[in-house]
A = this chain, B = another copy of it.
C-alpha cells in the first residue's frame, strides 16, 4: 500500500498485517521480552533460565531420572546431557546410577546446589511478578490459564 521510495522513513511505521494476530509471532515477541526481564533481573549472577529450572525440578523431585526430566521439560536428551554435565562440573548436581537399572542416571542436588537454589529463589519468584508488567492480576491469571491450555494440552483440570 504505502511504498516509500525515496522518502525518508517517517517513524518506522511498518505494516504487519495478519502477523499481529499470529500466535507464534506474538509468543516469540512476548518470550523475548520476558527473557530480557529474566536476564536483567539476574544480571551479574551466573543464573540462566534453563539451568535454574532444572535445578528447581531436581530439588522438588530428588533422584529424578535424567530422561524423565528431559521429557517433562521438553529438553532433548542430547542437550540435557550437556546441561547436566555443566551443573555437575559446577558442583551443583550429583549423578547416581541405581543398581536396579544401571542404564539410567538419577539426579539430586548437592549441598552447594541447594544453597544456590535458595540463594536465588526469591529473585526467581520475583521475576514472575516483573514479567507481567502492564497486566492486571486478573489478566495475568487468565494469561497463565490460557497458556497452560496450550502448554499442557492433555491436562484438563478445569471443569
Specify the main secondary structure of chain A where it touches its partner: helix
Contact (Cβ within 8 A) A26 B148: yes
Contact (Cβ within 8 A) B27 A34: yes
At the interface, yes or no: A86 with Cβ under 8 Å from chain B? no
Contact (Cβ within 8 A) B128 A22: yes
Contact (Cβ within 8 A) B30 A147: yes
State in angstroms the CA–CA spacing of A152 and B8 once bound together.
Answer: 10
Within 8 A of B (CB), among A76-135: 98, 100, 125, 127-128, 131-135
Proximity bits, A16-52, B CB within 8 Å = 1, else 0: 1111111111111111111100100000000001000
Q: Given A7-B154, A24-B31 in contact, is the A143-B144 Cβ separation under 8 Å?
A: no
A–B Cβ pairs within 8 angstroms, 29 of them: A3-B61, A6-B100, A8-B100, A12-B68, A12-B71, A14-B57, A17-B56, A18-B125, A18-B128, A19-B56, A20-B148, A21-B144, A23-B128, A23-B131, A23-B132, A24-B31, A24-B38, A24-B49, A26-B151, A27-B31, A28-B31, A28-B74, A29-B150, A30-B151, A33-B153, A34-B150, A134-B154, A142-B142, A143-B143
A contact residues vs B (CB 8 Å cutoff): 1-9, 12, 14-35, 38, 49, 53, 56-57, 60-65, 68-69, 71-72, 74, 98, 100, 125, 127-128, 131-135, 139-140, 142-144, 146-154, 158
